[in-house]
Amino acid sequence: MSEQQWLTKKQMEAVEECLKEVGIGNYTLRFSPGVDGDENMGGCIIKADAIDRTKTEKSLTNFILKCSPPSKILRSMVPVKELYNIEIYIYSTVFPEFTRIQKEKNILNPFTSYPRFYKSLTDDGEEMLVLQNVKMLGYKHRDRQQPLDYDHILSIIKQYAKLHALSYAIRNQKPKLFESFEKNMRNHLFGNFSFGGLAEMINQRTINAWKVLDPVKDDLLYDQFSYFAENPTQVLKNLIQSTSRNKVISHIDCGIPNILFKHEDASNTLSDAILLDWQHARMDSPAVDLVTLVFSAGDKSTIEHFGDLVLEYYKCLSSFLKELGSDPEKILSYAILQEELKTYGIVGLFMATLLIYNYETPTLPDVLHDESHEGGFSYMYELKDRTSYDRRIRDTICHFHTLGYNFL
């Protein structure tokens, strides 16, 4: 396949500029798919390998190009432009500020759980990010249909603790910078429910989750979940637009496909993890990342140890805040964190229902290219076999209820 078939002219020019900036002027460029066919629904992921012709030994520079989807229908139903702008802002502005404050504080074990960012393109219909291909460093995807055990979830929980601590420290010590973060992250996925595809998908997925409950056997839980199931966009809008001062920069899309793990070759011991896909990032309660991750990606045993994971999160958050020069008790006490979970956990539970729906789909629809579907827009597909989905969603909702968290 030629370069022109992989990228537009402007995108190709951006890649060429990127190569010059890293000191490669004479090269051979090879393109190939960056992910398995049905593992990505938010963009075209391309692997770009640049061979430096001036080197006597084979020298490769490996990039991942994340390009906006070509589907005009998709762009009319989902705020694609806004999603790419958010992710570009996170990589180009937020992460460098995180690096800056961590260097100022001489942090020995900083938060760096994201790929290196090289360049971006923001032209309409040609949005693109050029990122480091961390798979070349030994990071790997996990099977999205296999829930994660306690150790893998705990490793990500600690990364989120550092991510959130950085937000709190900047709010505490550099309030004007934090205000600029808030201002530039308003146009996120759930910032505007006027996009028809988004509202329709939310309603469909929420009703599907409600169906797993029995109105007789689960009478109290059924009634509590019913209002959310029938009014999901209103409940989400009220919580997301809340003026709570406990909000942090949150990853939000804490799905298994958006986490890469690295293991030691000899012992297969988990050594590190990388967080991908920051398109859904926004200012939100730390409870959203915690509930979304554990309830969507954790196996049943791990979900049942949610309280232990919250405690580990808070220990890491407190420790990192102290390293950054802020008092955790004044920033976010453990009691306030519990209130956050009770109030805003439902947003994470909603995200978990979306993600589990995708996990339990053997082959995801190609919404990037296929603009038709027998049941309507491709996002609106129904599960052919609900057995595993029903079991997982029921366990998730029931345990959420057991914890005493609000459904409104």
What are the boundaries of each domain within the chain? 138-402
pLDDT of res. 366: 67
Answer for the pair 346, 228: CB distance below 8 angstroms, yes or no. yes
Q: What would be the CATH architecture of the domain defined by 138-402?
A: Alpha-Beta Complex (3.90)
The CA–CA distances, whole Å, from 397 to 8, 9, 200, 277, 393 equal 45, 48, 22, 26, 6
Residue in the structure block whose two tokens are 């950085």: 166
pLDDT surpasses 50 at 374: no
pLDDT surpasses 90 at 128: yes
pLDDT in tens, 330-364: 999 999 999 999 999 999 999 999 999 999 988 77
d(CA 373, CA 218): 34
pLDDT in tens, 191-214: 777 776 788 889 999 999 999 999
Looking at the whole model, is its pTM more than 0.85? yes
The structure tokens listed for 301 are 């045993």
Could you tell me the pLDDT band of residue 166, with boundaries at 50, 70 and 90? very high
pLDDT in tens, 244-295: 889 999 999 999 999 999 998 767 789 999 999 999 999 999 999 999 999 9
pLDDT of res. 139: 94
d(CA 290, CA 252): 9
Among 15-19, 199-203, 393-397, name the one with the lowest average pLDDT. Answer: 199-203
Q: How many C-alpha atoms does 305 have within 13 Å on its Cβ side? A: 16
Q: Which of 260, 40, 256 is nearest to 147 (CA)?
A: 256
Beta bridge pairs of residue 91: none
Could you tell me the pLDDT band of residue 2, with boundaries at 50, 70 and 90? very low
The order of strands in the sheet holding 27-33 is 27-33, 44-52, 60-67, 128-132, 117-121
